[in-house]
């Protein structure tokens, strides 16, 4: 891990010096764990940030809080990406159910530290899928470990088998919520690649969108327009030049610009 991290960090620092000369905000993208041999993020996130007017920068995994703080010094916002299940026993005190998927302890620890540090700085943070779930867990919430076996009356297929730019089920969005203001819709079809979902909402957050079977599909931090999460994958649409959810990223970039100005 240290060898890969050193290489990734060299690229991160070199690119951050280049990006600091630009007027565009730098958007940190949390990375996945490649079993100790790599750390990376899907291009859909990178392309969505570019389309919305930001400079994307993948944040490599690290166990060093000082190094993580130094990396956050060089970005203006953070996107928490999708991925594996979150360890229920360690992070919210529940035994794993039989349908639990794979967990990556290294990534859980990195993501929890990253999101807490970023929110603690009042930095804009957007959680997507796992990132949305992880934001809830990081601040005291819990998850359904498996929707089909734990959500009574679930009538929606939340793990679709379709292109990432194709919506397979609808969500209802609270009027006047951050997500409603971002995309201008109260009902929309979303893509969906998850079997876990928010159960008990973290203190200080409110749910703003639901699927028809009651699963939370979006949330926002109360009193803040900078911290929010969505259960679906808006980057799948945006990276394919479909503008339905482009407003999520455009709003995020605008908040990053404000944060960047505040740092000076």
Q: Give the CATH number for residue 184.
A: 3.40.50.880
115-155 per-position pLDDT tens digit? 999 999 999 999 999 999 999 999 999 999 999 999 988 88
**How many domains does the chain contain in total?**
1
Which helix (H) or strand (E) segment holds residue 229: the answer is strand 227-230
For residue 5, the tally of other CB atoms under 10 A from its CB is: 17
Residue 21's pLDDT is 56
Q: Are 235 and 243 in contact (CB under 8 A)?
A: no
State the Cα angle at 42 between 20 and 189, rounded to 5°.
Answer: 110
70-80 per-position pLDDT tens digit? 999 999 999 99
Q: Write out the catalytic residue numbers.
A: 129, 233, 235
Kindly give the interhelix angle for 105-120 and 65-72, rounded to the nearest 10 degrees: 50
How far is 245 from 249, CA to CA, in rounded Å? 8
Residue 153's pLDDT is 84
Whole-structure pTM over 0.85, yes or no?
yes
28-37, 38-47, 136-145: which range is least confident on average? 28-37
Q: Note down the domain range covering 29.
A: 2-263
Judge whether residue 257 has pLDDT over 50.
yes
How far is 258 from 264, CA to CA, in rounded Å? 10
């Amino acid at each position: 891990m240290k060898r890969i991290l050193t290489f990734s960090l060299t690229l991160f620092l070199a690119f951050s010096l280049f990006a600091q000369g630009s007027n565009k905000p730098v958007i940190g993208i949390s990375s996945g764990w490649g079993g100790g041999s790599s750390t990376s993020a899907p291009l859909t996130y990178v392309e969505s940030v570019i389309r919305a007017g930001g400079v994307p920068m993948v944040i490599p995994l690290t166990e060093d809080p000082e190094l993580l703080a130094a990396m956050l010094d060089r970005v203006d916002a953070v996107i928490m990406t999708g991925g594996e299940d979150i360890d229920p026993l360690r992070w919210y005190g529940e035994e794993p159910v039989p349908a639990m998927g794979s967990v990556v302890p290294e990534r859980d620890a990195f993501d929890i530290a990253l999101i807490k540090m970023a929110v603690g700085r009042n930095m804009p943070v957007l959680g997507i899928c796992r990132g949305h779930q992880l934001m809830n867990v990081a601040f005291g919430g819990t998850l359904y470990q498996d929707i089909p076996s734990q959500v009574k009356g679930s009538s929606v297929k939340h793990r679709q088998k379709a292109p990432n730019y194709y919506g397979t089920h609808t969500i209802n969005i609270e009027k006047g919520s951050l997500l409603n203001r971002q995309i201008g819709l109260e009902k929309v079809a979303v893509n969906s690649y998850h079997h876990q979902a928010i159960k008990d909402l973290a203190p200080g957050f409110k749910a703003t969108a639901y699927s028809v079977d009651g699963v939370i599909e979006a949330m926002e931090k109360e009193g803040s327009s900078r911290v929010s999460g969505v259960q679906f994958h808006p980057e799948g649409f945006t990276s394919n030049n479909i503008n339905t959810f482009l407003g999520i990223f455009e709003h995020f970039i605008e908040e990053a610009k404000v944060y960047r100005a505040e740092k000076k």
